[in-house]
Amino acid sequence: MATQSSPDLLALQRLYHWETTTPERVALSQPMGSGVLQDFTWAQVADQVRRMAAYLQAQGWEPGSKVAILSKNCAWWMMSDLAIWMAGYVSVPLYPTLSADTVRQILTHSEAKAVFVGKLDGWQGMKPGIPAGMPCLGYPLSPADVVAEHPGWDAICARTQPLAGHPVRAADELATLIYTSGTTGMPKGVMHTFGNFAWAFATAIKRVPMDGNDRMLSYLPLAHVVERVLVEHGWLRTGMHIFFAESLDTFAADMQRTRPTIFFSVPRLWVKFQHGVHHKMPQSKLGLLLSIPIVRGLVRKKILGALGLDQCRMAAGGAAPMPLPLLQWYSTLGLNINEGYGMTENLAVSHLTEPGQNQQGSVGPAYEGVQVRIASDNAEIQMRSQALMLGYYKDPEQTRTAMTADGWLRTGDKGHIDDHGWLHVTGRVKDLFKTGKGKYVAPAPIEDKLVMHDDVEACVVAGANLGQPLGIVMLSPDSVSTLQDPAAKAHLEASLARHLKDINATLDPHERMQCLVVSATVWSVDNDIITPTFKVKRNRIEELYGSHYEAWEASGKAVIWANA
């Protein structure tokens, strides 16, 4: 859907605005290792973008050609995106954890002319996915062989004169292909325009006020729609200061350095933060301390300070449903997490709970300008707005399938709208399964309860055609490390059995899980069980474990150690 957006809100115009009005203000802070932090002012960002744009233009590709970015988040990622746009091209971000096969599929499908290969942990595994002869461009933090064998960012900028003037891209021009994370098969290239982005952020900022005084830590993949809209376009719109995470090992230090005023995370990471607190202070002790008025404030301040969230004025979660007990737990710490709902296909701008309002258990009302309805036949959430995709790249059939005949996006999610106008997402339309007793089970609400055990990092509820559902859980790394101790393993098994019993007591008879299966396999992007945004691929779980379901159900055990 083409959008009508004020030209001064489009991405490149925002860069020129900050280049002109606040050239000496620090825009980006990039860790370089060994505690060294490199700052980029708006003048430096614009200068490097202009030089790289001139280099890209000099390659002589047709306007609208695709240029890919394969890197973890860093300052050059965002400058690459802007340079691609300034040069007249379309950016194609790739998740920095993809398999070689998926890298090749996206680069080939998108017809990318070149790829920026940046900061990566698993480059050697991805390298075979780069088509032979495809030009690669490196960053200062690229893998050593990329730096040695391909043109590098600093060298290119040093020898290239900056592109002059203020090249602009029209609102209805294609800006990017955002490839979906592939929970249901091969990724699809979602086409979005510059106007889509401008409308999406102009709409979002009405509910979540942001300005140039805010700080954000960029650590979730910029290839993902939420990070792209909230961080990159939030930065361009407001001029806020963006910090980047150095690595998983330094994440706590990165948070302390940034002390973000706005912080977004996916549910799995919010759960990990909670588990980290519980490992240092059991919930029983924490609950007691928080119940004492004279010490409550000190405890909250200490915990949020340790997490780096003591200056956070806006916390949000999304990309998957947030368990209600998790939201309530953070509220006891004085940190109210706003839950958002959206998709790559609508630039993640659909719903968000309103700051300062208690709308927990829902994803709040629709953003201004977003229309939503619930399908009468299957309770599917359908929506439309000026941020809807143009379609899937080179896939008109999938595009038609994604839309209703009258132009509404089929989200694939089930839900309902309550009397307040708040949307409640209850699961995926296709995730519903029928037990052998002919009863339908929605797994998502049960999984929200299951994952609240401190030792559970991820879970799936399955059971199509079984007498009762069963839960499959992956333990956290800390919990796995204790399993060599028989006493610790017995203690964990008893705890999981109690957890199962407590959850089943809250469920209808046909929903109650027969057992919990503890997976010995780590669920990761590398083995294709989870997506880069930490969503579990149910079809992969079925492939790996489905043949064991009936035996597990018949075992009579409350807790089963798979492959043990």
* CATH code, domain with 483: 3.30.300.30
- Average pLDDT of span 82-111: 94
Any domain includes 223 = no
For residues 408 and 544, membership in a common domain is answered with no
**What is the average per-residue pLDDT within 447-453?**
88
**Mean model confidence pLDDT for the chain:** 90
Cβ atoms within 10 A of the Cβ of 274, count? 19
- 299 and 197 in one domain? no
Q: Helix, strand or coil for residue 441?
A: strand
pLDDT band at 4 (very low <50, low <70, confident <90, very high): very low
pTM for the full predicted model? 0.84
pLDDT digits (tens, 9 = 90+) for 189-224: 999 999 999 999 999 999 988 999 999 999 989 999
Task: Please tell me whether residues 266 and 388 are part of one structural domain.
Answer: yes
Same domain, 330 and 461: no
420 and 466 part of one domain: no
- Single-letter amino acid code for the residue at 353: T
Alpha helix stretches (DSSP H) within 208-250 = 225-227, 234-238
Q: Is residue 486 part of a domain?
A: yes
**Same-domain pairing of 504 and 389:** no
Range of the domain at 195: 13-211
Number of domains the chain contains? 3
Q: In degrees rounded to 5, what are phi and psi of residue 38?
A: -105, 120
Cα gap 49→13, rounded to integer Å = 13
Is residue 532 a part of any domain in this protein?
A: yes
For residue 156, pLDDT over 60 is answered with yes
Q: At CA 266, angle to CA 263 and CA 272, rounded to 5?
A: 95
Alpha helices in 259-395, H assignment, sequence order: 267-280, 283-290, 293-307, 324-332
Read off the pLDDT band of 3 (50, 70, 90).
Answer: very low
Average pLDDT of the residues in 17-37: 95
Backbone phi and psi for residue 191, each to the nearest 5 degrees, phi listed first: -95, 125
In 430-447, which positions are buried (b, 16+ CB within 10 angstroms) versus exposed (e)? Answer: ebbbebeeeeebbbbbbb
Residues 508, 400, single domain; the answer is no
Task: Centre a 10 Å sphere on the Cβ of residue 132 and count the other Cβ atoms it contains.
Answer: 4
Query: Residues 495, 507: one domain?
Result: yes
Residue 50 in this model has a pLDDT that exceeds 90: yes
User: Lowest-pLDDT range, 159-173, 275-289, 453-467, 532-546?
Assistant: 532-546
Q: What is the per-residue pLDDT for 564?
A: 47
Matching residue, tokens 């290119």:
156
pLDDT at 16 over 50: yes
CATH of the domain at 139: 3.40.50.980
Above 60 in pLDDT, residue 367? yes
Q: What is the pLDDT of residue 5?
A: 57
